[in-house]
Structure 1
Amino acid sequence: MVWTPWKGVPSTQLAGDCEANRYKMFQNAIQKAREIGKLEMNFDFEPTVLDCEQANTKRTKLSALMYWVKKLHESPAEPLKCDYMMNFGGGANSGVTRAEPISLATLDRDCFIIPVHSVDRFLPAGIPLPALSADGKATSPLSVLEVSDPKLCILVHLMSPLEAIDPVMESPLAHPLLKQRSIAAELLTEVQQANTAVGGMLLANMEKSSEFPFISYYLINTLQTDPSNFYAGLRVSSLSKFEPKALKYTAAHTLDLYSEVAAICRPPLVLPSNEAGSFKKSQTAATGYIISVFKVFEGDDGERFEKNWLYWTGARMLYRYLPRAAGLRRIALHKSTSQKGDKMYLLVCECADLLKDISLAAFLIPALRARLCGYTGLYRPIQAF
């Protein structure tokens, strides 16, 4: 095949035009490269992106996940709208002066509650303690109220799914999850009847598969019950009821004692003295929990690490982006009291109306899991006292 130039155009002129076109294409390529070098990638997702067509499920989930992951790592536009230790509107910036004594009963703003012995480690980084001036007045607009120590200790029992010791012999009609729920409920009932805990609840995971399908949560009054004795007794009872030889199933059980080292609370907080610690009287059919479990190696629980608990636990994200309709009550951080070995942290987010609309937390939980830090699950109480 012989190539011939375009009809009516001399070959010399065509060759010149080709060289000119090549030079122009080269200039355009250089210009594009400069423009790309100045291009700033921005992954902002408008709210309308989250409402994209329902037919494209993958796009919807990916857009939502990217949106919340971006929100998690962005610099905060403003700090948390709650004040540490307690703020009751008496600060210099509020323009409100209270004449009556300030107490928990008059609480009207979100606040931090941090035990005095935990302030140095769990007061969020960047929030200074208010210092007293020469006249004895606080130099900070933040208010601090000293409240009585409830003298409570927490025991949490994490249960992994039951697994058959001999899967070949397992009946196809067996329901290990129901069996596990029944035994866990029996343990809770025994503790209630023994009156060794002031409150307790059994939480069930709401997802199809979970690392911890059931969590037992107990409040212990240290003035009435020795936490170490309570732990030892519950451990013996758990091992007896979940005995693999008799049950034909095995599971991992993690029991540990915790202290509440920090919490973000929303009023009203005060319960009558006869209801203090009672979960049954404070919960409704719509109450739900978002629980995160973290484990760090011994020695890694440093002061800098713990002062930034709002970020690595996801508490800041839950507080800022959980919809108001969820009815947030409190976000509490628990730390295991063991002196040696690895340290466990639990973040418990309680919402009064979370179960009325599960979609309120549907976008937040995948975003929390996307950090690949700890375990996060959605739970509902199935038994409480």
Structure 2
Amino acid sequence: PLVDRRSSVSLLKWTPSVRRNTNSDLPTPCTTRQVSFSGSTNTVVVTNTQPRTEPISLATLDKDCFIIPVHSLDRFLPAGVPLPTPSPTTTSAERTATSPGPLSVLEVADPKLCVLAHLMSPLEPIDPLLESPLAHPLFKQRTAASELLTEVQQTNTALSGMLLANMERNAEFPFISYYVINTQQNDPALFYSNLRSASLSKFEPRVLRYTAAHTLDLYCEVAAICRPPLRDVSAVKRSHTPTTGYIISVYKVFEGDDGERFERNWLYWTGARMLYRYLPRAAGLRRIALHKSVSSRGDKMYLLVCECAHLLQDLTAAALLVPALRARLCGYTGLYRPIQAF
């Protein structure tokens, strides 16, 4: 069956907001991996010990930074981190270079993006007694998911998309489809509805002779930790290399439990802090992004996507970190690699 989590797509509100970037006073990662998350979100924060003479932009950033939308700042700015209060008469470039305290702030335009994630559980035979021992349900599922991604690409309704395959056996979500949508060019609610209908048709149990649970949700990016050089998040294919890998965590919170105090501690319960501190430099960390489902009713879903450019070159670090994240008994964590993208 297709799991419909009642995303309330008709009630989605895409309020215009300014998006900022924050870069904290984070030292260059060293062997001890002692990192302080004293950076604000929604702005780019850089160290004030060495003032810069040129205006700072996303293209010239040379330090790790937080990026958080303004409308999410009060809930996802890490607890205990104050925002600098620059003079309202200064420009954003001046605020970046001269703001007092350990943080510097840079405002950037909101890219107006939305994410749809399609989580697929393993295929199960409708009639196990009649299933051939030579059957390969995982291959069938991969083929169907790949065809669905190609169909979405041909409609030109998504800026980009990718199909991720789990690298472990007996995974709870062997495949995840990830789409980036421009909310000014396409209606996210309509995209959700069309993809849901296409999924029902593509994974029709009477045709495949297998059934699976499919969870589709619309998400907005509420916080991210980025490492320069910063890339366009909507161009996932251009950022891929043969060794690109993802560590993805999925969390589900009961309705009403997504309070401000809970969300301001997202670095801890999502495992983002652990990933940032203990992933080796050789893994090529690019960004750690937290997505929250936009449904106004029902349970809330959180998706933590950690992208590493060279993760597949040496999986030793992931082999140690993933079990440590799972040991917290919080959410689901898996190791994924992209097998198709546009």
CA offset digits 1:331-360 (Å, max 9, x no partner):
000000000000000000000000001112
Partner of 1:172: 133
Residue 123 of structure 1 is matched in structure 2 by 77
For normalisation by structure 1, the TM-score amounts to: 0.76
Alignment counterpart, residue 256 of structure 1, candidates 171, 193, 217:
217
The whole-number CA distance in structure 1 between the counterparts of 2:40 and 2:82 is: 11
Q: CA deviation at 1:102?
A: 1.5
Percent identity for Structure 1 against Structure 2: 73
Distance 1:171 1:135, change over 3 A: closer
* Structure with the larger helix share: 1
Instruction: Using the TM superposition, give the Cα deviation of residue 88 of structure 1 relative to its aligned residue in structure 2, in angstroms.
Output: 5.9
Q: Does 1:109 align with 2:66?
A: no
Q: Output the CA distance in 1 between the equivalents of 2:282 and 2:102.
A: 30
> What are the Cα deviations for residues 29-59 of structure 1, in whole angstroms up to 9, with x where unaligned?
xxxxxxxxxxxxxxxxxxxxxxxxxxxxxxx
- What are structure 1's unaligned runs of at least 5 residues? 1-75
| Cα distance, 1:234 vs structure 2 | 0.3
The whole-number CA distance in structure 2 between the counterparts of 1:134 and 1:192 is 44
d(CA) in 2 for partners of 1:134 and 1:218? Answer: 38
Aligned residues of 1:260 and 1:333 also touching (Cα < 8 A): yes
Consecutive unaligned residues of structure 2, counting only runs of 5 or more, are 1-32, 91-97
Give, in whole Å, the separation in 2 of the partners of 1:341 and 1:87.
33
**Partner residue in 2 for 1:7:** none
1:147 positional shift? 0.4
Which of 181, 184, 203 lines up with 2:145 in the alignment?
Answer: 184
Deviation string 1:210-237 (CA, Å, 9 cap, x unpaired) is 0000000000001111000000000000
- In structure 2, give the amino acid aligned to 1:181: R
Superposition deviation, residue 208 in structure 1: 1.1
1:288 matches 2:245: yes
Give the CA deviation at 1:301. Answer: 0.2
Q: Per the alignment, do residues 207 and 289 of structure 1 end up closer, same or farther by CA in structure 2, a change over 3 Å counting?
A: same
CA-CA distance at 1:383 after TM superposition? 0.1
In 2, the alpha carbon distance for the partners of 1:281 and 1:119 equals: 29
Structure 1 residue corresponding to 2:189, chosen from 207, 219, 228:
228
CA contact (8 A) 2:35 2:277 kept: no
Query: With CA pairs under 8 Å and 6+ residues apart, which has the higher RCO, 1 or 2?
Result: 2
Contact persistence 1:369–1:376 (CA under 8 A): yes
Q: Is the aligned partner of 1:328 residue 2:289?
A: no
Instruction: Say if 2:45 and 2:103, in contact at 8 Å, map to a contact too.
Output: no
1:380 to 330, 334, 337: 337
Q: Structure 1 residues 188 and 77, CA, compared in 2 at 3 Å: closer, same or farther? A: closer
Taking the aligned partners of 2:275 and 2:201, their CA distance within structure 1 comes to 38
Match of 1:357 in 2: 314
Max radius of gyration: which structure?
Answer: 1
Q: Deviations over 1:240-294 (max 9, x none)?
A: 11111121100000000000000000000045xxxx6122211011000000000
Aligned match of 2:54 in 100, 105, 120? 100
Q: Does 1:367 align with 2:324?
A: yes
CA contact (8 A) 2:42 2:223 kept: no
**Cα distance in 1 for residues equivalent to 2:116 and 2:102:** 37
The Cα shift of 1:141 comes to 2.8
**Residues of 2 paired with 1:141 and 1:308: CA distance?**
20
Task: Tell me the matched-pair count.
Answer: 303
Question: How many angstroms does 1:138 deviate by?
Answer: 3.6
